[in-house]
Amino acid sequence: MTASNLPEVWEWAEYYCPWCYITAVRLQEALPEYQGRVKLRMRPFPLEVLGSGPAPRDILDQEWWLAAIQEPKAAFAPFAGNDFPTTTLPAFEAVWCALQQDEALSFKYDLRIRRAFFAESRNIGRPEVLFELAEEDGLDMTAFSRAYESGAARDAVLAEGRIGKETFGVRGTPTVMLADGKRLHPPVAFPKFTDRKIVSIGQLPCIGDGCLDATRGLFEQAIAHHSSVGVASEDAK
């Protein structure tokens, strides 16, 4: 298979979202096993523009640790200080700039930004923080600065997010799907809220290495679905 016709797994994600963080950690851990067989795309879905607004801190504070206990490989620590991000749009823009350099570097940088927020109390809404993280990750800073300062990133991020909402019906994050819109179900137990308080959480779908196995299953579903669609297309000729 060439890169152009590989089955694709998409994660529409938000940087405020701890569930996106653990899903991204798992997808990116499993991805090397599927090199040349499946393509992963991390797609932007900024809730402050396309949803009901940025996640309120009181909600995030409750979700923080429920996500942490579900994926030990995703680092979490309480957010310290008062410099809590009021926007994640700059983070989306920064990752778009990294993607213009190299896809693998953009994946690494994506996780670096999530870890900076969820484990290091860094304000990922501040461009200077994002530039520091980009330099730490070894990005070409001349090219990164040029792309970021061009203004093209904001337009690209919002345009892609609108495709998610208007074409694929994305409403929240994380939304994991195949390129034809078929939904996949990442192994995450989401909480239920009543009056802005968590009142219950679903049964954990996996524990430990079982979560990596379940994530591999998403890539296997992509391969199987791609094959079945291809067979159907040939039969229709």
pLDDT tens digits along 199-208: 999 899 999 9
Mean residue pLDDT across the chain: 94
pLDDT given at position 53: 83
Sheet holding 183-184, edge to edge: 39-44, 8-13, 175-178, 183-184
- Give the residue from 27, 29, 25 showing the smallest Cα distance to 8: 27
Backbone angles phi, psi at 79, to 5 degrees: -75, 120
Domains of the chain plus CATH, in order, are 3-232 (3.40.30.10)
List, for residues 74-88, the tens digit of each pLDDT value.
999 999 989 999 999
Q: Is 56 left (phi over 0), alpha (psi -120 to 50) or beta?
A: beta
pTM of structure: 0.94
The whole-number average pLDDT for the span 3-21 is 93
The pair of three-digit structure tokens given for residue 212, joined into one six-digit string: 């990596």
The whole-number average pLDDT for the span 123-143 is 98
For residues 100 and 75, what is the distance between their CA atoms, to the nearest angstrom?
27
